[in-house]
Structure 1
Amino acid sequence: MKVVAFKRELQGSGASRRLRNSGQTPGIIYGGTEAPVTISLDHNALYHALKKEAFHSSILDLEIDGKVQKVLLRDFQVHAFKQLVLHADFQRVTASEKLHVKVALHFVNAEISPAVKLNGGTISHVLNEIEIECLPADLPEFITVDLTNVDVGTSVHVADLTLPKGVTAITHGNDLTVATASIPAGQVAADAEAAAEEPKK
């Protein structure tokens, strides 16, 4: 994905406010061997890009003055109630340097799992993203969580995930729970009531 930015000479809150009033969003690029560079970006283009999941977990081509750099979106601030992006931070990416980044989880095959298909249970997503480490070339857009074999009373943990080649999950020593399968409390009560009403043979 490509992002076009412009070098920003003026700094400070007044300059940033004037930028936003003119439809631009202030930002910064940092990291690597070069000094940080303050930039401005087209607000509407950035606002719509932020709605795409891939924009948050892909290596981006950031163009400034005709020169393209590989970067990763590291942070952004949005106004509390206006549809306004206040600031964006990008980190330069080096091909040989491993990244630490959060990547979205995509859950598949819940409807064919024993928990749902055989037992009428529900699968709750405990995590929506996990932190990973990998080289830029190995960065996945998302990680798939296959729920095919999940049954009631069991959980899926980070250790159970099939990670793409070159990707390591960072769990800080804890095997985090990704999803759990259970039967809703209301259904348990209804089943118990139905069983109690059955005539004894």
Structure 2
Amino acid sequence: MSEHTIKATSRNVEGKGASRRLRRAAQLPAIVYGGKSAPQAIQIEHEQIWLASHHEWFYSSILNLDIDGKVEQVLLRDMQRHPYKQLIMHLDFQRVDASQALRTKVQLHFLNQEKSPAGKTSGVVITHELTEVEVSCLPKDLPEAIEVDLGELAVGAVVHLSDLKLPPGVELPALKLGKEHDVAVVIAKHAKEEEEGDAAAPAAAEVPATKAAKKDDK
């Protein structure tokens, strides 16, 4: 697992006015919480976070948060963006304990789709039902992403959560909730099947309405 460090400084003044002043100075207000320590307000250079936000590791890796020279391990838990400007408004970081399992979402990387039997078959649509999954693991085992090799994907095949090959020490909490939570991750089917399914949905929806209308006539 690669290490990534974010440099920050502590701040004593909070509130909307203080946050606006920080942003005008190209600084970003943030907070770090969790663990045995009290929540701490911090500030970070906006450019540093803006550049980091373009990398997948920023969202799913354990980060080394260097606050005034003291390093804590954290996970990004929330990021608020400006509705239309290219600005990040606020960040929430959660401290992690090396001895305790954590739960967070990890991106899925789909490999070899074009080389698969389904990918080489004309008229077949391959849909990615999920692009990320929630995992549970110790901080040291947290992967930046989970690879899904679709090299053998056949026409009509469905890849479920239980089919994913997980790194050592990583679990999917959803699979402990029952078979109904073993949802599809990837589906490969003919485009005609997809069109027929879409066409059937409105027809099915019209049946109850028709029955209801007949009841009202009586």
Instruction: Please report the TM-score for the alignment, with normalisation by the length of structure 1.
Output: 0.89
Q: Which residue of 2 aligns with 1:63?
A: 66
User: Aligned partners of 1:28, 1:40: CA distance in 2, in Å?
Assistant: 8
- Asked whether 1:33 is paired with 2:36, we answer yes
Larger relative helix fraction:
2
- 64-73 or 169-178, which deviates more: 169-178
Q: Secondary structure at the match of 1:113?
A: coil
Greater Cα shift, 70-79 or 117-126: 117-126
Describe how 1:140-179 pairs up with structure 2 within 5 A.
140-171=143-174, 172-173=177-178, 174-179=181-186
Query: 2:188 — aligned with what?
Result: 181
Letter in 1 for 2:190: I
Query: Separation in 2 of the partners of 1:118 and 1:58?
Result: 37
Instruction: Extract unaligned runs of 5+ from structure 1.
Output: 190-201
Question: How many residue pairs get matched?
Answer: 189
Deviation (angstroms), 1:119: 5.1
> 2:77: which partner in 1?
74
Q: Which of structure 1's runs of 4+ aligned residues deviate more than 4 A?
A: none
Where do 5+ consecutive residues of structure 2 fail to align? 197-218
1:183 to partner: Cα distance: 2.0
Check conservation: 1:62, 1:70, Cα contact below 8 A: yes
What amino acid is aligned across from residue 188 of structure 2 in structure 1? A
Aligned Cα root-mean-square deviation (Å): 1.8
Counterpart of 1:23 in structure 2: which amino acid? A
- Alignment partners' CA distance in 1, 2:97 and 2:91: 20
Which stretch of structure 1 is more off in the superposition, 1-10 or 117-126?
117-126
Q: TM-score, normalised by structure 2?
A: 0.82
Amino acid across the alignment from 1:139: L
Mapping for residues 67-146 of structure 1, pairs under 5 Å: 67-118=70-121, 120-146=123-149
Show CA shifts across 1:131-168 (max 9, x none). 00000000001001111222122211110000000000
1:28 alignment partner, SS class = strand
Indicate the percent of aligned positions where both proteins have the same amino acid: 50
Q: Counterparts of 2:49 and 2:7 in 1: how far apart (Å)?
A: 10
Letter matched to residue 73 of structure 1? L
1:119·1:152 contact (CA, 8 Å) conserved in 2? Answer: no
